[in-house]
């Protein structure tokens, strides 16, 4: 008598040691088989042209894009594939992007191997490991961030990028060809619009809004 059909998993992870370790872990499970491994968005698309996974296990940050982009493109080919993100970047931006492409789970790489295996098993069975409250909170943050970004003028965005890069106000003035007083005016405006009160907060907000890496 044949055993249960194994969960077919595709891994998209650019760190080779992690990629190989995940493959070994998952292939060691009696109900799982790794059908392919990729290290970039481009490689994952080539693989997806010839393989049909049940679960896509993705890192978020990839050399030529991100896991959300890879997941969305592979779901265009295979609409039923389930997405599980395994990443060190569990920022709101990363999780929002994952939710928006239909991810069923987002796991930090610090979690135990058993949790990754259990999550894949659950997701393959139809579970969504984001709670409705988490999804609603993430999407609300996305709307808030979109509103904040829309409220900034092009010049304010330029100033924020330079502040986040650690450039001093007088040097910002020189680089943008505006007065020091004007730079300070823009910084005060950024503080009001974004509710930031220090360079550290401004840098964090610039990253959150996707204005800097």
Q: Is the pTM of this model over 0.75?
A: yes
Using alpha carbons only, how large is the chain's radius of gyration in Å?
Answer: 21
Measured CA to CA, the distance from residue 156 to residue 145 in angstroms comes to 15
Q: Are 123 and 105 in contact (CB under 8 A)?
A: yes
Domain spans of the chain? 7-137, 152-208
Helix/strand/coil for 36: strand
**Domain 7-137, what fold?**
Rossmann fold (3.40.50)
- Percent of the chain predicted with pLDDT > 70: 98
**Domain 152-208, what fold?**
Arc Repressor Mutant, subunit A (1.10.10)
7-137 shares its CATH topology with 152-208: no
Element (H, E) at 178: none
Structure-token pair, residue 205? 């907000």
Q: Are 120 and 26 in contact (CB under 8 A)?
A: yes
Does the pLDDT at position 1 exceed 50?
no
Does the pLDDT at position 69 exceed 50?
yes
Query: Measuring CA to CA, which residue among 99, 65, 64 is closest to residue 85?
Result: 99
Does the pLDDT at position 20 exceed 50?
yes
Reported as half-sphere exposure (CB side, CA atoms, 13 A), residue 59 has a value of 22
How does pLDDT run across 104-152, given as a tens digit for each residue?
A: 999 999 999 999 999 999 999 999 998 888 888 888 888 898 899 999 9
Average pLDDT of the residues of the chain: 93
């Amino acid at each position: 008598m044949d055993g249960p059909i194994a969960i077919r998993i595709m891994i998209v992870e650019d760190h080779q040691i992690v990629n190989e370790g995940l493959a070994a872990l998952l292939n060691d499970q009696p109900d799982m088989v790794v059908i392919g491994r990729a290290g970039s968005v481009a490689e994952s698309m080539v693989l997806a042209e010839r393989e049909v996974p049940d679960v896509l296990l993705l890192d978020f940050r990839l050399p030529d894009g991100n896991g959300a982009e890879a997941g969305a493109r592979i779901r265009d080919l295979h609409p039923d594939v389930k997405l599980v993100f395994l990443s060190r970047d569990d920022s709101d931006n990363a999780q929002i992007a994952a939710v928006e492409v239909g991810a069923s789970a987002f796991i930090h790489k610090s979690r135990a191997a058993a949790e990754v295996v259990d999550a894949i098993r659950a997701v393959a069975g139809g579970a969504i490991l984001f709670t409705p409250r988490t999804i609603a909170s993430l999407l609300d943050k996305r709307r808030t961030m979109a509103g904040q970004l829309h409220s900034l003028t092009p010049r304010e965005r330029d100033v924020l990028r330079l502040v986040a890069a650690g450039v001093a106000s007088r040097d910002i003035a020189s680089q943008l060809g505006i007065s020091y007083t004007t730079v300070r005016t823009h910084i005060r405006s950024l503080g009001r619009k974004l509710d930031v009160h220090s360079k550290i907060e401004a840098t964090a907000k610039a990253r959150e809004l996707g204005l800097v890496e």
